[in-house]
Amino acid sequence: MRPLTVQKYGGTSVGSVERIAAVAERVAARAAKERMIVVVSAMAGETDRLLKLARALSPEPDPRECDVVAASGEQVTAALLSIALAERGVPAQSFLGHQVRISTDSAHGKARIQSIDGERISRALDEGRVAVVAGFQGVDERGSITTLGRGGSDTSAVAVAAAVKADSCEILTDVDGVYTTDPRVCPQARKLERISHDEMLELASLGSKVLQIRSVEFAKRYGVRVHVRSSFNDSEGTWVVPEESTMEDVLVTGIAHDKDQAKITIKGVPDRPGLAARIFGPIAAANIIVDVILQNTGEDGTTDVTFTVPRGELAAALRIVDEIRRDTGAKEVLSDSTIAKVSIVGLGMRSHAGVAASIFEALAREGINIQMISTSEIKVSVVIDEKYVELAVRALHAALVERGEGAHPS
Ligand code: ASP
Ligand code: MG
């Protein structure tokens, strides 16, 4: 049987009728030898434009209706691409989420895929057609249209690939792969040939916006090999794959940075059981995601607690924390929104000691003060002053990626 391929084209790749025609050429060439499923995003800027229309009519439009509006962007692209394919003699059929059927929960605006019935797509393929699927959308139990969260067509593509057991899943985008770090910050950044699902999950969650994080979770769960590559040329991109045994040989795979961070310190809180729950319970209840947490052991029966939140949530978090300060008799609350987080990720950290020490040395050589540190099995994150973030990324890249390249540390 001919290989089965899922391709996903992002917004810039289908941003104009000319671009859609170019995508059709590309798909047509592949369709000569492969069975093709193509998942599309809305044309660039379209989802923002649509959501703005809804908000122009109401400050808080009904999420169900917002999804009906937003999902129309992908509907248009899917049909336009099918038309462009037919024009090139390639039979194609568009599918909306509910036609596929991509079943989700009812969390409008951030729905999760629960199951996919690949039956109708398979039938179209058997009849020799290219199946063009509108990304980003699904349908809930009640038959309402749902959307999967911004960037959600990546997840549509990986989930469809898993459901139909595709031989490969290509994400075609406006960058040519996943880089060791942001090339705009560090010219020495280089494209990775491959990266494990776990490393990609860490990097995606740290603001390397190449793939929607849920798509990587899906890929990991179902063992989907994802090829991230450019839609503007034919060169190989980066393979996001299940872990392979040699991957631990490389100490550091990537360095991410995130300026969307703010720090809150509560000083002089009584040091007793239940304190952390008292602080972080209400913050979690307000849906604010706390990242790095630091607590000192105090000497006089009190302690200081510092933690980071997304910058946009600082004001909301401070209102909650101020209440906690009054209730607990804490001394004062300080905040700082000029911080940034730099994270160093690599499977090799699991089995090699000394990576953290090299990180701290590299920062020390540049005179960069570390305010907070957190670690996981394959990641070290440091919180530093925002104004040193570019310098830190370059220094760490030079010390750990360029010099450590292919290194087998002793
Ligand atoms: N069109 C949607 C968005 O802009 C989904 C996607 O592009 O993946 O977020
Ligand atoms: Mg996108």
How close is the Cα of 10 to the center of ligand 1, in Å? 8
Distance separating alpha carbons of residues 221 and 198, to the nearest angstrom: 11
Residues contacting 353, CB < 8 A, separation 6+: none
27-53 b/e with 16+ CB inside 10 Å = b? bbebbeebbbbbbbbbbbebbeebbee
Ligand 1, atom 6, residue with closest C-alpha: 151
Ligand 1 atom nearest the C-alpha of 10 is: 7
Residues contacting 216, CB < 8 A, separation 6+: 158, 197, 200, 201, 204, 226, 240
Q: Which of the 8 DSSP states describes residue 288?
A: P
| Beta carbons of 343 and 381 less than 8 angstroms apart | yes
**Is 255-400 the same fold as 4-174?**
no
| Beta carbons of 154 and 209 less than 8 angstroms apart | no
Q: Is the CB of 41 under 6 A from ligand 1?
A: yes
Neighbours of 124 (CB within 10 A): 20
Residues of the chain with pLDDT > 90, as a percent, come to 86
Q: Which of 155, 144, 75, 78 is nearest to 112 (CA)?
A: 155
CATH fold of 4-174 reads: Carbamate kinase (3.40.1160)
Q: Which of the 8 DSSP states describes residue 123?
A: H
Ligand 1 atom nearest the C-alpha of 41 is: 7
Q: Is the CB of 173 under 6 A from ligand 1?
A: no
How close is the Cα of 47 to the center of ligand 1, in Å? 6
Q: Is the CB of 136 under 6 A from ligand 1?
A: yes
Listed by start position, the domains of the chain span: 4-174, 255-400
Neighbours of 331 (CB within 10 A): 11
| Beta carbons of 204 and 345 less than 8 angstroms apart | no
Q: Locate the DSSP E strands across 291-351.
A: 293-295, 302-309, 332-345
Distance separating alpha carbons of residues 113 and 303, to the nearest angstrom: 43
User: What pLDDT digit, counting tens, does each position of 193-220 carry?
Assistant: 999 999 999 988 766 678 999 999 999 9
Would you state the pLDDT for residue 164?
96
User: What pLDDT digit, counting tens, does each position of 138-187 carry?
Assistant: 999 999 999 999 999 999 999 999 999 999 999 999 889 999 999 999 99
Q: Which of the 8 DSSP states describes residue 173?
A: E
Q: Which residues of the chain have pLDDT under 50?
A: 406-410
| Beta carbons of 162 and 237 less than 8 angstroms apart | no
How close is the Cα of 80 to the center of ligand 1, in Å? 17
Would you state the pLDDT for residue 408?
43
How close is the Cα of 137 to the center of ligand 1, in Å? 10
Secondary structure class of 125 (helix, strand, coil): helix
User: What pLDDT digit, counting tens, does each position of 15-28 carry?
Assistant: 999 999 999 999 99
How close is the Cα of 83 to the center of ligand 1, in Å? 21
Q: Phi and psi at residue 304, in whole multiples of 5°?
A: -110, 135
255-400: CATH number:
3.30.2130.10
How close is the Cα of 131 to the center of ligand 1, in Å? 19
| Beta carbons of 266 and 303 less than 8 angstroms apart | no
Q: Is the CB of 215 under 6 A from ligand 1?
A: no
Please report where in the chains the tokens 């490969």 appear, as a residue: 168
Would you state the pLDDT for residue 6?
98
First-last CA distance in the chain: 48
Q: Which of 247, 251, 237, 249 is nearest to 197 (CA)?
A: 247
Hey, which of 110, 136, 145, 171 would you mutate to test ligand 1's pocket, going by the most ligand atoms within 8 Å of its Cβ? 136
How close is the Cα of 151 to the center of ligand 2, in Å? 4
- pTM for this entry: 0.89
| Total residue length of the chain | 410
Ligand 1, atom 8, residue with closest C-alpha: 151
Would you state the pLDDT for residue 296?
83
Q: Is the CB of 12 under 6 A from ligand 1?
A: no
Task: Say which amino acid occupies 38.
Answer: V
